[in-house]
Amino acid sequence: MVDFSLWDILRNLLLAARWTVALSLIAFVGGGLAGLALLVARTARLPGAQRGVAWYVELFQGTPLLLQLFLAYFGLALFGFNVSAWTAAALALTLYTSAFLAEIWRGCVNAIPRGQWESSASLALSLGEQLRYVIGPQALKIAIAPTVGFLVQVIKGTALASVIGFIELTKAGTMITNATFRPFTVYACVALLYFALCYPISAWSRRLERKLDRGR
């Protein structure tokens, strides 16, 4: 057993929390860009695009994130791609995030009255111009709160990356527990750090929802 003070435990957990934040940002930004592309493809009504995007969304929403992480890490190796735990976790979480954000944003776009589409079409606006100048700004107001709220799920989802060996906050907590034999203290600190990361985002999301409700 290694003798760790409370400060030693917190310091090592804070160092690992950097990777939790980095992985969350990569997954959220990458997933957001991919989700936006999926939304545009689905809205554009391209031949086969709607069905293909729907299958993509159903695939990632209908399978556990843990299984997706295993497939990204071990499945790619079967095809000769030896990826690190970091790469596999980033890829799996990005794809997972893109599917959920695409569906969230599709709901926001569909919430815009049909008359807005017809009015913008009567002005001879292209689909891109409709989304940019008419539909997008209105959908953005609706989408901000659920999008920010989903970021909390992404942060908590990074904990599953520990099963493929990626050392983030949860994995570091397990390693420190094995060294100190103080599971309650260590995991309590891990929980507090997750709370410190997630609570401000959740509070901000609720505040945005209240502002949106008052604006309607």
Q: Model confidence over 24-43: pLDDT tens digits?
A: 999 999 999 999 999 988 88
Q: pLDDT exceeding 90 applies to what percent of the chain?
A: 59
CATH of region 6-215: 1.10.3720.10
The predicted structure's pLDDT at residue 2: 63
Q: pLDDT exceeding 70 applies to what percent of the chain?
A: 97
The predicted structure's pLDDT at residue 28: 97
> pTM higher than 0.95, yes or no?
no
The predicted structure's pLDDT at residue 142: 86
* Residue range 171-179: mean pLDDT, rounded: 93
pLDDT tens profile 132-144: 888 888 888 888 8
pLDDT tens profile 79-97: 888 899 999 999 999 999 9
Q: Do residues 103 and 83 lie in contact, with contact meaning Cβ atoms separated by under 8 Å?
A: no
Q: What is the 3-state secondary structure (H, E, C) of the chain?
A: CCCCCHHHHHHHHHHHHHHHHHHHHHHHHHHHHHHHHHHHHHHCCCCCHHHHHHHHHHHHHCCCHHHHHHHHHHHHHHCCCCCCHHHHHHHHHHHHHHHHHHHHHHHHHHCCCHHHHHHHHHCCCCHHHHHHHHHHHHHHHHHHHHHHHHHHHHHHHHHHHHHHCCCCHHHHHHHHHHHHCCHHHHHHHHHHHHHHHHHHHHHHHHHHHHHHHHHC
Higher pLDDT, 129 or 87: 87
Enumerate the domain spans of the chain: 6-215
